[in-house]
Structure 1
């Protein structure tokens, strides 16, 4: 409570139903407690009140600290000092030294209001120890009354109803020497049936057997660790009293036993925590346990708004979940319009169609099985992909038989297609079921069949799907769409009467959906695609391609709808799965045509456009009447640049540093939630390599960052590695620049972000030169036209992407070589000769834009024509270059053994290496765990 004025605390306590009250010396914090609680003040400070609490209802005493912090930085330092001096003893404290977790909230997202300002100033932070005592806790933002602050109601329970756990295959089982023998013996027992039913029955039988085997062989992992520790303690005491060979052998045996059971405990918690970056061996069960606690705490649904009523009873919540999603995923009795056949044309050959339906081979099934992530979460039957990888030689015949039966058209048994639905919150504090994202956890047996189909579809999708669709089509990248959208935004301003307008449409999704770790019910889904099934993305883009082809026909029939932008290629829409952007003009008639088409698409395919979340942007030259016309016809909201598309801000202008503020905040928030004191330096290094350093890469690929942004991000990495967080400063024994080298070069095998940025720029140049996407084709038509890309002049009026390419082209071209096929590459400016482009070897006043095939005659070199312009030594070398007739010219990356570009090879090619010392590579060998190697 925040009185700020003198008041009779005991009178207020009685009115509120509490036993007593205490306030801090500044009279800014009041703390009330009830009859069954004993309270003692430990620290009374102007900015905090630190109390000790005890109750018969709790398993142990607790510490609670209420904070009312000063806004001045200097005065707030006194608060940090007071918090550090607070002694917490052995009881759970609501405040920890680090790794605090925001307890979240339900209700309004804001706790403080002042006129038009509103912020979330008040919050509850808890430690992992607190979550252990109170695994079930909820913070509610109460309604405003007389105060400008909302009240925070904290409800916590120290006992949670034990749920019936379902079978889950444990990865630690695979490390036992008896495991494969147990599986082989059980698998060979006779089974009735064949194909899919046979495989399902064997898995069911094995599941029951493994449960009993686990109880006998592994037992309780935590009890085993405690017993091994006691055994080692007794063995050490026996050896100290009688240091003979017998006690030494017993001590070594007990030590080995402890290492074995600790490895099992580590594997158990690592699998439960879902940590993939710790494969190198961060043996830190406390860290994994803390992550599991946070996941459980944040994933528990304490209340939900359903049909106008706020539900808090667990049974009512489960029933409402099953009811909501059953209605959502049951097909409605609609009668869609007949699909226009002209939209469904494809470029498949008869051979392509046969390749989709031919019976699979054992090698194809193996490829499908091992393409599934072994650490992926298992489906309802509990067997994850790690089981199929480990036991492949035992189960291969039955898996192949099941897949073959499926391709013969047999119906899948019920257990094959059963799916568990996990709910992932879309917002920080979801209040209704529509604010959860459903993820389908399918059985691996089902995934194998759909994965095989997905691999086959991947070979033909590029021939079927429109170039404007980049999602889930092999060879097309998300960054291609972002780069092309950025290029079109650069041309947003138009001096023509009809201003340009860009629409960003939000598609309403419908998917399948476990509630609080339990199955609330079973229902039969009759519509929607399962997000989590390998086949769903391919099916979705096939359906969405109808939209692309329909838009193409609409714009072709109405040329005035085309977006006004320079260049030879007209782009009217971009798609990445269901993320859609449409580029057109503000003419009211065009808006009417677009609205009619979108409504027809909704009726045909049943996919709805969320009008309240869809938006549009216009240029500064668009009049208010044009903007209003767009809003009147389509009903979308007007937004201003920058806008976010596929996780990247689209912008205009030269200021770029502020665009990286969200990613920097995300990194800091991510580190705030990590249990830093539970991680060794080796664990932190593994986390930096696998997750933290990868976080900003998506943005760095498409936006060239200022140097200040890279310095800020690398300071965050370096501070995390050396243990600096919040206001806790530790000595940084080395700069981050010295860490960005290999071990033999006295580094930590991390890569500098500046090097990444240059490598990404070279990747953009590579894709631009190879014309491998709609984005590269558009840039060629816009900026090159009658000029070769290597001689296009730098222009400050060009887009930021174009100028980024101009800055890197001289470096990147040095590593590009062309092998001749159809001979369309430039005779003078492309490097097909071997050493350099001929323009750099043969000096002329002017270089005509001629292709290589101009100097061919009937598939061979036209020697007389070559000798007219090329000196004899070079002409002889040219005539020895082979021509691969009937094939296309191939762009080759000289720094790669395969000829294909890779970011790593580009980074290695341009970085400045330090002197190597083989001794360092021998001592800090990669076989050592980072936990040990960094310590050394």
Structure 2
């Protein structure tokens, strides 16, 4: 119990030894650092006085009676066991110091008591005492964090609470496909992140080629500041009620959200308790699904503006539906016509959403893209109007380029650079050829897979990656040097049963990944990619 609560010898990797205050003064004293961390989170989780919740506007899909009945069914032992064994056994322990593997291994002993506790909490709509105590660990978001904004707070919930929350999440996610618009692709069974990437890429490609015509279009990529941590609880409550969730279910969800008590893990100690007034926990199984429902508030405002013809999305061709927004959790893309009426409408929507939900758009990190037929004077006016400084033409969306021109090889060359960097990180390891083969199959071959779902990689890029793999298998740390390869790479790519090592043929694998997307369009024409 003690090592898990007090940290271990590797905890120094995330220790805050130097940090800058808001006034720019560097802080090094341990006591001052602890006070700064505590003040930061007290301020972060404090309800903003600017939030003045009005009525939630817009049309929402409704939960039907049979769905509410399914949500309110008593929790069964089988349901709890399914939730427990759906979770990874090596997840970090919470305030109780126990990890998931312990409960999974000894489920026959502890299972009946945990199942009974979960069923009782659901029946009474009240959590057990101290079960919602949560430790917060700080994960650096960049190599050399300088201020508190450079650290990401991750909630280590009580493991038994996570079992209960996972049961609620499993019940909720099954009906999200009918409640959430198709522009949101995150965490919903049957939807894919690839849909968002392809639709965004095609829309951006249309914008780049639209060099004629009186009407231009704008793409605004939003960056939400501390999206999870600033969620307004009263807005979440109103969204759930607006969508028709039963009052008992709403009370249970709000009990999970509102009764949390935080302790900040700092330099081997625990700072707190901190009683929040807003925010969702990154680490709570039900939080991602609640955040998706909150994002429906923004989507509803945009759809209402479209219905009133205050905003017009982008149609990439005749008879194609208009795309006005794409969401993937807090990654948001908005598309609208380049005129002051629509720019003003978009800004008013974002302001209303910010005032109600607590979500704050960081316009300095957001980006704007324009079609070429827009005058430079108007582009400059739009940048000043929104307060956006960055150009979105060369930015990435969900980890991949949002726009590719003729220089496809140069734009996708980051894949090769990542592979070289990863292989070089293994230079200090004394690996046999069998060990190198395992790393190549499980790490290197997986790195370009995400991009292969969207783009057909140039043949010479695939050949170059295979050359790097071949060099690493034969030469190890000297993989970039010339030398004798005693077998052809084609022989090593054969299946093990035919005398090879089972390495992938990257070009053929790329084609298979793209064929899979084609099959998804044919088999599910109602999904986002099929519709657009």
Return closer, same or farther for 1:551/1:408 CA change in 2, 3 Å cut-off. Answer: same
Distance 1:738 1:521 in 2: 61
Is 1:768–2:483 an aligned residue pair?
Answer: no
State whether residues 617 and 638 of structure 1, in contact with CA within 8 Å, keep that contact through their aligned partners in structure 2. no
Spell out the pairing of 1:602-621 with structure 2 (5 A cutoff).
602-621=354-373
Return closer, same or farther for 1:315/1:674 CA change in 2, 3 Å cut-off. Answer: farther
Distance 2:215 2:110 in 1: 65
Q: Is the partner of 1:519 in helix, strand or coil? A: strand
Distance 2:312 2:368 in 1: 15
Is 1:571–2:304 an aligned residue pair?
Answer: no
Aligned equivalent of 1:362: 77
Displacement, 1:421?
A: 1.7
Q: Is the partner of 2:270 in helix, strand or coil? A: coil
Aligned equivalent of 1:643: 395
Q: Is the partner of 1:439 in helix, strand or coil? A: strand
Is 1:317–2:70 an aligned residue pair?
Answer: no
Is 1:457–2:210 an aligned residue pair?
Answer: no
Displacement, 1:600?
A: 0.7
Distance 1:372 1:533 in 2: 12
- Of 255, 267, 270, which aligns to 1:519? 270
State whether residues 6 and 268 of structure 2, in contact with CA within 8 Å, keep that contact through their aligned partners in structure 1. no
State whether residues 95 and 158 of structure 2, in contact with CA within 8 Å, keep that contact through their aligned partners in structure 1. yes
Aligned equivalent of 1:535: 286
State whether residues 676 and 723 of structure 1, in contact with CA within 8 Å, keep that contact through their aligned partners in structure 2. no
Displacement, 1:387?
A: 0.8
State whether residues 489 and 650 of structure 1, in contact with CA within 8 Å, keep that contact through their aligned partners in structure 2. yes
- Of 134, 145, 164, which aligns to 1:430? 145
Is 1:655–2:407 an aligned residue pair?
Answer: yes
Displacement, 1:167?
A: 5.1
- Of 669, 683, 690, which aligns to 2:421? 669
Larger deviation, residues 678-687 vs 444-453: 678-687
State whether residues 641 and 652 of structure 1, in contact with CA within 8 Å, keep that contact through their aligned partners in structure 2. no
TM-score (norm 2): 0.86
Is 1:353–2:68 an aligned residue pair?
Answer: yes
Q: Is the partner of 1:677 in helix, strand or coil? A: coil
Larger deviation, residues 689-698 vs 428-437: 689-698
Aligned equivalent of 2:495: 742
Spell out the pairing of 1:285-300 with structure 2 (5 A cutoff).
298-300=13-15
Aligned equivalent of 1:556: 307
State whether residues 450 and 533 of structure 1, in contact with CA within 8 Å, keep that contact through their aligned partners in structure 2. yes
Q: Is the partner of 2:43 in helix, strand or coil? A: helix
Is 1:501–2:253 an aligned residue pair?
Answer: no
Spell out the pairing of 1:120-269 with structure 2 (5 A cutoff).
165-166=3-4
Larger Rg: 1
Return closer, same or farther for 1:317/1:649 CA change in 2, 3 Å cut-off. Answer: same
Deviations 1:392-451 (A, max 9, x none): 111110111111012113432353222222222222211001011222222221111111
- Of 433, 442, 447, which aligns to 2:157? 442
Distance 1:311 1:742 in 2: 58
Return closer, same or farther for 1:623/1:505 CA change in 2, 3 Å cut-off. Answer: same
Distance 2:424 2:336 in 1: 44
Distance 1:411 1:737 in 2: 62
Displacement, 1:166?
A: 3.5
Distance 1:342 1:540 in 2: 17
Deviations 1:674-700 (A, max 9, x none): 364244433333333333322221111
Is 1:714–2:466 an aligned residue pair?
Answer: yes
Q: Is the partner of 1:416 in helix, strand or coil? A: coil
Displacement, 1:297?
A: 5.9
Distance 1:423 1:661 in 2: 33
Displacement, 1:624?
A: 1.0
Q: Is the partner of 1:550 in helix, strand or coil? A: helix
Displacement, 1:498?
A: 2.5
Displacement, 1:640?
A: 4.7
Displacement, 1:723?
A: 4.4
Distance 1:351 1:581 in 2: 34
Runs (5+) with no aligned partner, structure 1? 1-163, 170-271, 273-291, 779-936
Return closer, same or farther for 1:582/1:365 CA change in 2, 3 Å cut-off. Answer: same
Aligned equivalent of 1:330: 46
- Of 413, 434, 450, which aligns to 2:128? 413
State whether residues 384 and 444 of structure 1, in contact with CA within 8 Å, keep that contact through their aligned partners in structure 2. yes
State whether residues 451 and 535 of structure 1, in contact with CA within 8 Å, keep that contact through their aligned partners in structure 2. yes
Return closer, same or farther for 1:420/1:682 CA change in 2, 3 Å cut-off. Answer: farther
Deviations 1:278-332 (A, max 9, x none): xxxxxxxxxxxxxx86xx5643332100233211223322332122112211323
Aligned equivalent of 1:752: 505
Q: Which has the higher contact order (CA 8 A, sep 6+)?
A: 2
Return closer, same or farther for 1:400/1:634 CA change in 2, 3 Å cut-off. Answer: same
Aligned equivalent of 1:47: none
Return closer, same or farther for 1:403/1:690 CA change in 2, 3 Å cut-off. Answer: farther
State whether residues 452 and 514 of structure 2, in contact with CA within 8 Å, keep that contact through their aligned partners in structure 1. no
Deviations 1:702-750 (A, max 9, x none): 1111011112222333333334325785764444433333321222233
Deviations 1:177-224 (A, max 9, x none): xxxxxxxxxxxxxxxxxxxxxxxxxxxxxxxxxxxxxxxxxxxxxxxx
Q: How many equivalent residue pairs?
A: 491
> RMSD of aligned C-alpha atoms?
2.4
State whether residues 472 and 537 of structure 1, in contact with CA within 8 Å, keep that contact through their aligned partners in structure 2. yes
State whether residues 213 and 373 of structure 2, in contact with CA within 8 Å, keep that contact through their aligned partners in structure 1. no
State whether residues 168 and 378 of structure 1, in contact with CA within 8 Å, keep that contact through their aligned partners in structure 2. no
Q: Is the partner of 1:582 in helix, strand or coil? A: strand
Distance 2:174 2:139 in 1: 32
Is 1:398–2:151 an aligned residue pair?
Answer: no
Distance 2:485 2:271 in 1: 51
State whether residues 366 and 390 of structure 2, in contact with CA within 8 Å, keep that contact through their aligned partners in structure 1. no
Is 1:693–2:410 an aligned residue pair?
Answer: no
Distance 1:415 1:685 in 2: 48
State whether residues 134 and 156 of structure 2, in contact with CA within 8 Å, keep that contact through their aligned partners in structure 1. yes
